[in-house]
Amino acid sequence: MCKIDKDIYIDVDGTLIRNTFCDDGVGIGLRDNAVEFVRFFADNFTNVYWFSTNKRFCLNGFRKIAGEKLNSKVKYKEFEYSKYEILDFSRPFYIFDDELKYDYFNSHGFLIDEAPVLEKDPYKSKLNPRIHILYYIPSDAPMNFLKKVIEDVKKKENIK
């Protein structure tokens, strides 16, 4: 199988792990299909990166959840000030994040809309649909949300 030559940036906290509310307070839950989500991108794309400010969880926590073999296919890049520093805008990529900093993308001239309207299509917001695609996955989205995102990427990339 030939992998698609695009980079994948996956945020962990809020995207793969979400806050859940229960009778006795706030807890944390692994979103349904989180491991399958990571496996899908690791199996189908050339470069997959953790995209998070929580390095400790990226390197240790998800390894326990997903297993060493899958986790070894995902890289973590260091950054100094902002997690967006790791993005390589010279290559096509997908970004999956629950906390979008539109001001960052706007200041670098990457947004095609001044203010993307997330309410109309909450999990697809485009930086440049031909090159870079940004998916907004809010932490309060339904637990099965990642499956919808996988199906959407499969359509875009003609993956069966």
- pLDDT reported for residue 61: 67
Tens-digit pLDDT profile for residues 83-110: 788 888 888 888 888 776 666 666 666 6
Q: What stretches of the chain show up as alpha helix (H) in DSSP?
A: 34-44, 55-56, 62-66, 68-71, 102-107, 145-157
The per-residue pLDDT of the chain, averaged, comes to: 74
Stated pTM of the model: 0.78
Structure tokens at 66: 């997903």
Domains delineated in the chain: 4-157 (3.40.50)
Predicted confidence band at 30 (pLDDT cuts at 50, 70, 90)?
confident
CA distance 151 to 36: 12
- In 3D space, the residue among 122, 119, 126, 91 whose CA is nearest the CA of residue 105 turns out to be 126
